[in-house]
DNA sequence: CGTAGGAGCTGCCGCTGCGGAAGCTTCAAG
DNA sequence: CTTGAAGCTTCCGCAGCGGCAGCTCCTACG
């Protein structure tokens, strides 16, 4: 008992184009191919198609589905990791929605009052503030770490160093957005970012709590650093310091 | 005061590639282009870039950002609609995560007990159940609506009719998934789907509450219909009927 | 017996938002 | 004079198909 492609399409609710696509990527080849090169599917293929559709409805990617079908991985295990991804993505959207609604409220307020909004990233300041050199220059305040850092950066390609710099800048901008959105320094999304930073930092060098707090102080006290932060948004240096101190108090023994 | 592309990249935290891309799609052309065809950006462009990055961080698509920048639409209004999209997507992921975790629990249980799971979509039944003809045949039960429906379908192209059939099938499969996931018939996700169905139906023909309830009864009482439902999953016909009746009770005056 | 229509096929372009790399020019420094 | 850095354009790739063009093949109808 074999069915042509259009029949299968009608039965399963997907288009024939999709079935051809699944054949093309090797996810679901037909049972056999007629002399006129028409695709014919049998029960086994339909069963697999149903499994594919269920997993797809659960948001699992086709590549992942292919691995599950091929029995190379455990369905339960893969569903569990997929669930984790779903929850993370949901939380991200949730935080995003919160930020957006706060932005909307701010905009409405500033339209009514004429109050200007917190301005992020005046670029002329950005230009003055974030010179690549100042990251290195700031190391002078931590001579005992300079050596470790130098060794770490020496092992990196220029491209990696570039990328690191970009990421630091982007991170500061994101932090400024959170600040502008009205999150207090100890709010969850902020602390989540600070945690990421801490993980990166502790990957680079061993960092004691006292050292970490010293770095936090430098955000406002070190001229180069605070200039870089303030160039992005007024008050950002103090905000970063407060966030780091809250992080140390809450999560570092 | 003009900055070359790499400088802007370092300042803003995006790559030069991204800036070129934004130029390419017309989102952010540079202030001017040098005789060596190098791109140079000035303050105005940097300010726009910051606006772009903020909106992008809020998850707004580049096309939408372009319209906002071009002042063709109101930023507030567009943010509001974006917020709605975000919430919808978040809720979708939330429901998905719930379903996945339920699926995981079911799988774990059936592995321990050897209890079989609710089976969706045995395809051989699907084949018997969902013949395109039966949708038309079922109209015999509603002669007073047959004419209206015939007129509506006559105005559609064959491709649209095809698509409609596929969508109905896909909808039934989704409903079966919700049922298998353990949602009661009056649960929110189920009722949401039923509402979509109702909107589609009332777009096709005027439908009174009594008629709607008659249709609900047909799900189990009409042989063709119930066969189609049961072919997808055991108990689906009764589930659909219960969901429709709950919908009528809750939302139709 | 010719032809029209319908169902199938292959193959290519399009969407989003870039990343990555090849292969070229141009400019300043050693 | 040569090297290196920085810029450029152009193309391929990613997920998951949708939608077209242009071909073949089979059946039914006049």
User: CB of A101 within 8 A of CB of B83?
Assistant: yes
Instruction: Out of A93-97, A185-189, A233-237, pick the least confident.
Output: A93-97
What element of type H or E holds A175?
Answer: helix A158-180
Determine the Cα angle at A55 with ends A50 and A56, to 5°.
95
Decide if B94 and A89 are in contact by the 8 Å CB cutoff.
no
Does residue A111 share a domain with residue A14?
no
Which of the listed residues B117, B135, B150 is the one where a domain comes to its end? B117
Q: Is A130 helix (H, G, I), strand (E, B) or coil?
A: coil
**Beta strands of chain B (E only): which ranges?**
3-4, 32-33, 39-41
Task: Write out pLDDT tens, residues B197-232.
Answer: 887 777 666 678 888 888 888 888 776 677 677 766
The token pair that represents B232 in the structure block: 């997808």
**Least CB-CB distance to B90: which of A53, A94, A108?**
A94
What mean pLDDT value characterizes chain A? 74
**Model confidence at A245: pLDDT above 90:** yes
A3: CB within 7 A of chain C nucleic strand = no
| In contact, A245 and A217? CB cutoff 8 Å | no
Q: What is the pLDDT of residue B133?
A: 33
Determine, for residues A100 and B58 on separate chains, whether the beta-carbon distance falls below 8 Å: yes
The predicted-structure confidence for A199-208, as pLDDT tens digits, reads as follows 777 766 677 8
Q: Which residue is nearest to nucleotide C18 (CA to C1')?
A: B18
B135/B108: higher pLDDT = B108
Within 8 A by CB and 6+ apart from A7, the residues are: B127
Q: State yes or no: pLDDT of B188 exceeds 90.
A: no
Which of residues A214 and B139 earns the better pLDDT score?
Answer: A214
Confidence (pTM): 0.51
User: What CATH number should be reported for the domain holding residue A19?
Assistant: 1.10.1660.10
Whole-angstrom Cα distance, residue A186 to residue A245?
9
**B94 to chain A: which residues are within 8 Å by CB?**
90
Which residues of chain A does B47 touch, with a Cβ-Cβ cutoff of 8 Å?
A: 123
Dist CA A103 CA B76 (whole Å): 9
Half-sphere exposure of A195 (CA within 13 A, CB side): 10
How confident is the model at residue A246, as a pLDDT? 93
Number of A:B CB contacts under 8 A? Answer: 159
pLDDT digits (tens, 9 = 90+) for A94-119: 777 776 777 677 777 777 777 665 55
Whether the predicted pLDDT of B110 surpasses 60: yes
Q: Are residues B231 and B165 in the same domain?
A: yes
Confidence band for B1, pLDDT divided at 50, 70 and 90 = confident
Give me the interface pTM, i.e. the ipTM.
Answer: 0.52
* B121 contact residues in A (CB cutoff 8 A): 12, 50, 53
Q: Are residues A174 and A230 in the same domain?
A: yes
**Domain final residue pick, A83, A99, A117:** A117
Task: Mark whether A124 and A216 lie in a shared domain.
Answer: yes
B40 SS3 class: strand
pLDDT score recorded for residue A154: 56
Q: Calculate mean pLDDT across residues A202-231.
A: 77
Map tokens 């049972």 to a residue: A31
User: What's the whole-number mean pLDDT along residues A4-13?
Assistant: 86
CA distance B47 to chain A (A): 6
Taking contacts as CB-CB distances below 8 angstroms, the residues of chain A near B3 are 127
Same domain as A244, residue A123 = yes
Please report the sign of the dihedral spanned by the C-alpha atoms of residue B14, residue B19, residue B25, residue B31: positive
**CA-to-CA separations, A227 to A129, A131, A211, in angstroms, rounded:** 6, 11, 21
- What digits encode the pLDDT tens for the residues B7-44? 888 888 788 999 999 999 999 999 999 888 999 998 78
Check pLDDT > 90 for residue B131. no
Residues A219 and A134 in one domain: yes
What is the per-residue pLDDT across B88-106, written as a single tens digit (0 to 9) for each? 777 777 776 776 777 677 7
Convert the pLDDT of each residue in A60-80 to its tens digit. Answer: 788 888 888 876 667 677 778
DSSP state of A33: E
Residues B130 and B215 in one domain: yes
The whole-number pLDDT of residue B226 equals 74
A110-156: per-residue pLDDT in tens? 777 776 655 544 433 333 333 333 344 444 455 555 555 555 555 55
For residues A28 and A13, give the distance between their C-alpha atoms in angstroms, rounded to a whole number. Answer: 16
Report the residue from A1, A58, A166 with minimal CB separation from B96: A58
Helix (H, G, I), strand (E, B) or coil at A3: strand
What local confidence, expressed as pLDDT, does residue A20 receive?
A: 94
- Encoding tokens for residue A180? 């502008």
Question: What is the C-alpha separation between B123 and A45, in angstroms, rounded?
Answer: 9
User: Any atom of strand D under 7 A from CB of A63?
Assistant: yes
Report how far residue B238's alpha carbon sits from residue B228's, in angstroms, rounded to the nearest whole number: 12
Q: In the beta sheet, which residues pair with residue A146?
A: none
Per the CB < 8 Å rule, is A83 touching B89? Answer: no
The pLDDT-based confidence of A53 (bands split at 50, 70, 90) is confident
Phi, psi of B21 (to 5 degrees): -60, -45
| Residue ranges in A13-157 assigned as alpha helix (H) | 16-24, 43-57, 62-69, 75-113, 123-129, 132-137, 143-154
Looking at the structure, do residues A203 and A147 belong to the same domain, yes or no?
yes
**pLDDT of the residue at A130:** 33
Q: Which domain range does residue A125 map to?
A: 118-251
Same domain, B25 and B125: no
Between residues A13 and A241, the one the model is more confident about: A241
> How many structural domains are present in chain A?
3
- Rounded mean pLDDT, B145-154: 55
Percent of chain B with pLDDT over 90: 12
- For residue A215, CA distances in Å to A132, A178, A246 come to 19, 21, 13
Distance, in Å, from the CA atom of B166 to the CA atom of B168, rounded to the nearest integer, reads 5
Which chain C positions come under 7 Å from a protein C-beta?
7-10, 16-21, 25-27
A92, A186: one domain: no
pLDDT of residue A120: 47
| pLDDT value, residue B146 | 53
In a shared domain, residues A175 and A211: yes
Regarding whether A199 and A172 lie in a shared domain, the answer is yes
pLDDT given for residue A132 in this prediction: 35
Q: How confident is the model at residue B150 (pLDDT cuts 50, 70, 90)?
A: low
Q: Which residue has the higher pLDDT, A107 or B250?
A: B250
């Amino acid at each position: 008992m074999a069915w042509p492609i259009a029949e299968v399409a009608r039965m399963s609710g997907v288009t024939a184009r999709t079935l051809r696509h699944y054949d093309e990527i090797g996810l679901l080849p037909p049972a056999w191919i007629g002399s006129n090169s028409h695709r014919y599917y049998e029960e086994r293929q339909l069963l697999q198609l149903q499994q594919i559709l269920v997993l797809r409805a659960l948001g699992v990617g086709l590549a992942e589905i292919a691995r599950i079908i091929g029995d190379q991985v455990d369905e339960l295990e893969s569903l569990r990791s997929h669930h984790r991804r779903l929850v993370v993505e949901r939380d991200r959207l949730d935080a995003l929605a919160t930020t957006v609604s706060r932005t909307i409220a701010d905009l409405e307020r500033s339209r009514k009052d004429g109050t200007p909004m917190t301005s992020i990233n005046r670029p002329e300041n950005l230009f003055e503030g974030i010179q690549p050199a100042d990251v290195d220059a700031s190391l002078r305040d931590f001579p005992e770490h300079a050596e470790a850092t130098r060794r770490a950066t020496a092992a990196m390609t220029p491209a990696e160093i570039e990328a690191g710099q970009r990421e630091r800048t982007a991170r500061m901008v994101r932090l400024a957005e959170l600040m502008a959105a009205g999150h207090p320094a100890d709010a969850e999304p902020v602390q989540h970012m600070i945690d990421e930073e801490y993980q990166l930092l502790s990957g680079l060098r061993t960092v004691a709590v006292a050292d970490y707090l010293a770095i936090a102080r430098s955000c406002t006290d070190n001229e180069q650093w605070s200039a870089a932060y303030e160039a992005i948004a007024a008050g950002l240096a103090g905000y970063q310091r407060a966030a780091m101190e809250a992080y140390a108090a809450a999560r570092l023994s």
